[in-house]
Structure 1
Amino acid sequence: MLHTLLAVVAIGGVVAVLYSYALYPVVLFVVGSVAQGLRDVGFVFRKRDRRIDAGHTEAEPDWPPVAVVISAYNEETHIVSRIENLLALDYPADKLRAYIGSDGSRDRTAELMAQFKDEPRVVALPFEVNRGKASVLNDLVSRTVEPIVVFSDANTYFERSALKRLVARFQDPKVGGVTGELRLLGNASGDNQDSLYWRIEQFLKFFEARIGALLGANGAIYAIRRTLWQPLRPDTICDDFCVAMNVSAAGHRLVYEPKAWAEEDTPEQIGEEVKRRIRIGIGNFQALARHPQYLTRTSLATAFAYVSHKVLRWTAPHLLLLALAASVVLAVQQQSAGWAVYALAQATSYVLAWAGWRLTSRGVKLPTLVKLAAFLFALNWAFLVASWRFSTGRASGSWGRTSR
């Protein structure tokens, strides 16, 4: 019995991780293609909407008032250009207002925001006490009156027509939230550590949206109906994920609009990305523990995607370590060369990925696949550290600064 259990752990752990990273995208593509094909059949025989985004019209809509909400901390480098970017968007000036809060910034962020005090489209709120991003978002949203609330970051820049493309999706009354696309700009060295991984994530987001299973939102550019806003707990870390998933759990559609895009710089070093991923990872485990409704009160498609894309990814390093430990125990107990080779292959893979991570961190140029393996090691290391910090209570909703 014990031998069987150990074998299931040793093989199942690796299979579960391979499924999440390699097989799930294929399954999602097939399911998404079938779903689109059925919609096409419905269009041919019943003249129903052919596309999931069939709310678009050629006529210029009556654009609703929009509030853009940004919580900023120590953003003196970006805040002026970010506000100017918002004011230059292709959206009716009398329908756009930006609510920007400085969360007790220690640099010149609040001072620079004051330059726009005479601009009626900008509500600049220089909060003196640092409370954390979630608290500032709660405060800012409570001051809005516009029916559509758009969330973004201080170091992100919208393409000129992004707001219109984002808001246009709300013509469908079933849509409760819309997420746009974030395009990562290469750093000075041209070494974008997670570009391939990011493209895969965009692929998954596109097909998850196609089957009505979009998970969360991209914090750089997303919007919800104000009536669906639920105040965040002050220590919430992954605010964008929780805000969007609250919309989904309330029974409203989340959709993806890749034509509404924004730009943001990538981190200079993979070490910077690890710090960011650890913080996000803590927020992931926080959301998993606090919000079971993201699994129980969302659609079947969303629950399937949530487990396949998120939960298995977050727990991947734990599954792999358990699989390795079970393989070693089996190799010793059974005196089995097969289990010994299996355990050695796992351990060797992790050591090589770690070595690639170390070389990449030192700026060594490596082939794309090696860089991807290094990035995945760093990602899983971040999840492992994040789970430990979350379980031991070493987490808070305060800001964590990285170059991104």
Structure 2
Amino acid sequence: MEALILQVVVMTCFGAVLYTYLIYPLVLVCIAGVLRIARLALHGSDPRNPHVLRDSTLPAVAVIIAAHNEEAHITARIENLLALDYPAQRLHVYVGSDGSSDRTGELLAAFDDPRVRGIVFPHNRGKASVLNDLVARTDQEILIFSDANTHFGSAAARSLVAHFADPRVGCVSGELRLARTGGDNQDSLYWRVEQFLKFFEARIGGLLGANGAIYAIRRELWQPLRADTICDDFCVGMNVAAAGWRLVYEPSAWAGEDTPETITDEYRRRVRIGIGNFQALVRHPEYLWRTSIGTAFAYLSHKVLRWIAPHLLVIGLVGSLLLGLESRPWLYFGLLQLAGYLVAAALWRASRAGHSIPRILRIPVFLFALNWAFLVASVGYASGRYSGSWRRTRR
């Protein structure tokens, strides 16, 4: 009886991992297809297309950027924003330098355009605190959030704002486009898969949070963030969803960013984001019951199970080896898992040492690194050894 229970636990763990990575995307596409057919049958057309607004009806927007040691990007970033295809008198830029030790504050002060308001905060307090302070200084109807090291497509602001003509929409997330590199980091491929899921999750009314590189909310829906919040974009978007408003995904509103060449360049960022993921999971259980059915379904299937996947795999490995004490097939299955993890770890170690790995192995090694980062992040969150202060990475 005990062996049977352990077998069920092991297979459930592996089934959950298989579901979140392979089965869920297929289920998601099917549900989205059925809902689209239903909408066409009811309305005769897809009612999701945003309105086209004339310049005279466009709302005033505030683009908000928190920056730390961004002297390499900040000038080009502000110039990119000022060149957007949006009425100049309705576009305002708020940039906060959070205790930067480089020339970020000096470069901000060099802008004499009345649309740009640069605030230099002398002490490094973390991104969430800067965002809170910048939002408090705005009075525009729509807030657009972005990062200092990205650039917007010229129509980005218009594409985001058009959706707010629908009074049910509270948040609009744009699309982050990662430039490919010739290195072994597969983050750009992984991100394209994430964009695929985001598109169909939006179709079922289950968009999860927003992308920090480019998203907008109604100012009235802003909720101040706790100072140590790490995944601010996710929490801002999910707070809007939990308040009963619609979240929309608009791929034509895009922001560009470079992808680091190596897996190592991504690792620290992944660990930090992972800590933020577990932080949000523990602090905001309401995201599972105060949001729509579509959002709760996507959150559990896409996010929660993905975050705990390495823990499920560890349980599956230990369970397989325990069953292997009395069953040779289970022993072989457990040893096969262990061998696979050891090979992936060795290849990842080689990649971190600067060695190139075969192209065919880059995706499994990337997935190993991703899940290892989630595992390390869970320990980091449980230990409490983290803060909301900045951590510089190449992305």
Q: Shorter chain as normaliser: what TM range?
A: over 0.9
Question: 1-side partners of 2:47 and 2:195: how far apart?
Answer: 18
- Which string of whole-angstrom CA distances, capped at 9 and with x for unpartnered residues, describes residues 259-284 of structure 1? 00010111232112010000000000
Q: Which amino acid aligns with 1:38?
A: A
Equivalent residue letter for 1:109: T
1:180-211 per-residue CA deviation (whole Å, 9 max, x = no partner) reads 00011134x45552122111100000000000
Listed as ranges, the gaps of 5+ residues in structure 1 are: 45-49
Question: In structure 2, what is the Cα distance between the partners aligned to 1:61 and 1:16?
Answer: 51
The correspondence for 1:351, drawn from 342, 349, 359, is 342
Q: How many residues align?
A: 395
Structure 2 equivalent of residue 264 of structure 1: 257
Contact 2:185 2:362 in 1 (8 A): no
For the Cα contact (< 8 Å) 1:220–1:262, is it kept in 2?
Answer: yes
Q: Do the aligned residues in 2 keep the contact of 1:331 with 1:340 (CA within 8 Å)? A: yes
Question: In the aligned structure 1, how far is the partner of 2:253 from the partner of 2:383?
Answer: 39
Is the Cα–Cα contact under 8 Å of residues 74 and 107 in structure 1 kept in the other structure? yes
**Superposed structure 1 runs of 4+ greater than 6 Å apart:** none
Alpha-carbon distance in structure 2 between the residues aligned to 1:373 and 1:23? 18
Q: Does 2:156 correspond to 1:156?
A: no
Q: Which amino acid aligns with 2:225?
A: L
Pair 1:111-2:106 in alignment: yes
Unaligned runs of 5+ in 2: none
Larger mean Cα displacement after TM superposition, 149-158 or 335-344: 335-344
Please report how far the alpha carbon of residue 331 of structure 1 lies from its aligned counterpart in structure 2 after TM superposition.
Answer: 0.9
Indicate the residue corresponding to 1:168 in structure 2: 162
Select which of 219, 230, 234 maps to 1:237. Answer: 230
1:223 & 1:58 partners in 2: Cα distance? 16
- C-alpha RMSD of the superposition: 1.4
Whether contact under 8 Å (1:360, 1:371) holds in the other structure is no
Query: For 1:197-216, what aligned pairs fall within 5 Å after superposition?
Result: 197-216=190-209
Cα 1:9–1:119 shift into 2, 3 Å = same
Give the letter aligned to residue 182 of structure 1. Answer: L
Summarize deviations over 1:344-370 as a string: whole Å, max 9, x none.
221122123223323333444445441
**Residue 283 in structure 1 maps to residue 276 in structure 2:** yes
Letter in 2 for 1:280: I
The secondary structure found in structure 2 opposite 1:391 is: helix
Tell me which amino acid in the other structure corresponds to 2:179.
L
**Following the alignment from structure 1 to structure 2, what is the Cα–Cα distance between the partners of residues 237 and 169?**
27
Structure 1 stretch displaced more, 260-269 or 303-312: 260-269
Deviation at 1:12, TM superposition (A): 1.1
Kindly provide the amino acid, as one letter, of the partner of residue 33 in structure 1.
G
> Matches of 1:137 and 1:144 in 2, distance apart?
11
Are the structure 2 counterparts of residues 175 and 190 from structure 1 closer, same or farther at C-alpha, using a change threshold of 3 Å?
same
After superposition, the Cα gap between the structure-2 partners of 1:257 and 1:193, relative to the gap in structure 1 and judged at 3 Å, is same
8 Å Cα contact 2:127/2:388 also seen in 1? yes
Equivalence for 2:58: 63
Offset, 1:119: 1.1
CA–CA distance in 1 between the matches of 2:349 and 2:88? 50
Indicate if the aligned counterparts of 2:264 and 2:351 stay in contact, CA closer than 8 A. no
Residue 399 of structure 1 aligns to a residue whose secondary structure is coil
Checking the alignment, whether the CA contact within 8 Å between 2:179 and 2:188 is kept in structure 1 is: no
Give the Cα separation in 1 of the matches to 2:185 and 2:262. 9
- Give 1:47's aligned residue: none
2:172 maps to 1:178: yes
Is the 8 Å Cα contact of residues 360 and 374 (structure 1) preserved in structure 2?
no
SS at match of 2:148: coil
User: Aligned partners of 1:57 and 1:165: how far apart in 2?
Assistant: 9
